[in-house]
């Protein structure tokens, strides 16, 4: 009886993990602009990985006693994913990627106020690269 | 909390490192305690210059409550985002939202930004250099004012109480 419950839990975790990972990837291909595509991998896929790891944690805990490493991996994945998403968004803003026309709000970061230098006509001295 | 000393500049971090080390080794043998202890003292001493100011946790219990709230929100957030992605009509109302921060210290702002990224339909995109505004990209938002209020009530206020009150 207990075995059935544990196996059911493991199966549920694996299916949920797979489904979330798949939906996250689907978002990566289907959404319209870079900023929207960022939402899929940063949240959904991370949760997919989390669910899969917890499924594996339950399975191996029953086989050979409690396993804690996988819980740690899950926690670290959840700590690092937002940081990488933030860096991706930051670099997209830096390159002034155009958001989808439906996007409201007009951040200063995306306004193209100054004409940007190409590498050849960049001013001499230690000014930053364009 | 535990007061910092010369050889333990960040006692909480040291303790955390030791615990993580023992958990990763899955052993409480003397050798692991020694090795973990040496690392727990050495790593904070070496990376001390990177921490401009050590965060002080004033209410550890509240932090635990915050952790579980965020965990629950991550799951609901993902169901929402999944629905949006799977919606064949693709009705989304993306927006850039400028969030005015009331938090002042870097570490709590980092936690807030990470929380925003992990929870419903929002990714924190940019922290302005003045440290006062956080630029957020939201996937589907009807009312930006309501979103700002919600983030303030649900996440920023608890963080203020935990770290800066």
Residue B127: DSSP 8-state: E
Residue B65 has what pLDDT? 87
Where does residue B93 fall: left (phi above 0), alpha (psi -120 to 50 degrees), or beta otherwise?
beta
How many Cβ atoms sit within 10 Å of the Cβ of residue B157? Answer: 14
* Residues B113, A86: C-beta atoms closer than 8 Å: yes
Are A10 and A53 contacting, i.e. CB atoms less than 8 angstroms apart? Answer: no
**pLDDT tens-place string over residues A16-70:** 999 988 888 888 887 778 888 888 777 888 888 889 998 988 888 887 777 788 8
Class of residue B80 by CB neighbours under 10 A (exposed 0-12, middle 13-18, buried 19+): middle
Residue A121 has what pLDDT? 46
Residue B78 has what pLDDT? 83
Q: Of B21, B71, B82, which to mutate for an interface test with A (greatest number of A Cβ within 10 Å)?
A: B82
Instruction: Give which of B93, B95, B90 is closest to B148, Cα–Cα.
Output: B95
Q: Residue A15 pLDDT more than 90?
A: yes
Q: What is the pLDDT along chain B (165 residues), one digit of tens a residue?
A: 566 676 677 777 888 888 888 888 877 888 888 888 888 888 888 887 777 666 777 777 888 888 888 888 888 888 888 888 887 776 777 888 888 888 777 788 888 888 888 876 777 777 777 767 888 888 777 787 888 888 888 888 888 888 776
* Residue A112 belongs to a domain: no
* Residues A105, B98: C-beta atoms closer than 8 Å: yes
**pLDDT tens-place string over residues A68-89:** 888 888 888 888 888 888 888 8
Residue A100 has what pLDDT? 76
Please give the tally of structural domains in chain A.
1
B117 vs B123: CA distance, rounded Å: 4
Q: How far is B46 from chain A (nearest CA, A)?
A: 22
CA dihedral B3, B9, B11, B16 (to 10 degrees): 160
* Residue A36 belongs to a domain: yes
Q: How far is B5 from chain A (nearest CA, A)?
A: 28
DSSP string, A77-122: HHHHHHHHHHHHHHHHHHTTPPPPTT-B---GGG---SPPPPSTTP
Instruction: Give which of B50, B53, B46, B48 is closest to B109, Cα–Cα.
Output: B53
A20 vs A58: CA distance, rounded Å: 19
Residue A14 has what pLDDT? 93
Residues of A in contact with B95 (CB under 8 A): 103-105
Residue A122 banded pLDDT, cuts 50, 70, 90:
very low
* Residue A130 belongs to a domain: no
Q: Where are the domains of chain B?
A: 11-50, 67-164
* Residue A51 belongs to a domain: yes
CATH number of the domain within which A81 lies: 1.10.287
Residue A120 has what pLDDT? 45
* Residue A120 belongs to a domain: no
> Which residues span the domain enclosing A14?
2-98
Q: How far is A92 from chain B (nearest CA, A)?
A: 9
Beta strand B95-100 with B133-138: parallel, antiparallel or unpaired?
Answer: antiparallel
* Residue A71 belongs to a domain: yes
């Amino acid at each position: 009886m207990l075995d059935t419950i544990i196996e059911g839990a493991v199966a549920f975790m694996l299916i949920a993990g797979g489904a979330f990972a798949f939906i996250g990837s689907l978002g990566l291909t289907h959404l319209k602009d870079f900023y929207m595509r960022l939402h899929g991998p940063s949240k959904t896929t991370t949760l997919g990985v989390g669910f899969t790891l917890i499924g594996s944690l339950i399975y191996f805990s029953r086989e050979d006693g409690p396993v804690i490493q996988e819980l740690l991996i899950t926690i670290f994945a959840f700590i690092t994913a937002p940081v990488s998403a933030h860096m991706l968004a930051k670099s997209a803003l830096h390159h002034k990627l155009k958001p989808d026309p439906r996007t409201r709000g007009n951040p200063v970061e995306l306004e193209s106020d100054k004409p940007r230098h190409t590498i050849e006509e960049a001013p001499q001295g230690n000014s930053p690269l364009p | 909390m535990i007061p910092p000393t010369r050889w333990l500049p960040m006692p909480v971090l040291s303790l955390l490192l030791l615990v993580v080390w023992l958990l990763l080794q899955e052993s409480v043998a003397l050798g692991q305690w020694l090795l973990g202890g040496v690392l727990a003292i050495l790593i904070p001493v070496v990376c001390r210059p990177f921490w401009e100011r050590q965060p002080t946790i004033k209410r550890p219990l509240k932090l635990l409550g915050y952790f579980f709230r965020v965990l629950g929100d991550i799951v609901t957030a993902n169901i929402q985002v999944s629905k949006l992605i799977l919606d064949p009509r693709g009705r989304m109302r993306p927006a850039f939202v400028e969030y005015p921060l009331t938090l002042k210290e870097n570490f709590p702002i980092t936690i807030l930004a990470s929380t925003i990224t992990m929870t419903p339909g929002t990714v924190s995109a940019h922290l302005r250099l003045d440290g006062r505004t956080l630029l957020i990209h939201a996937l589907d938002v009807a009312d930006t004012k309501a979103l700002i209020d919600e983030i303030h009530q649900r996440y920023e206020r608890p963080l203020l109480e935990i770290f800066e009150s």
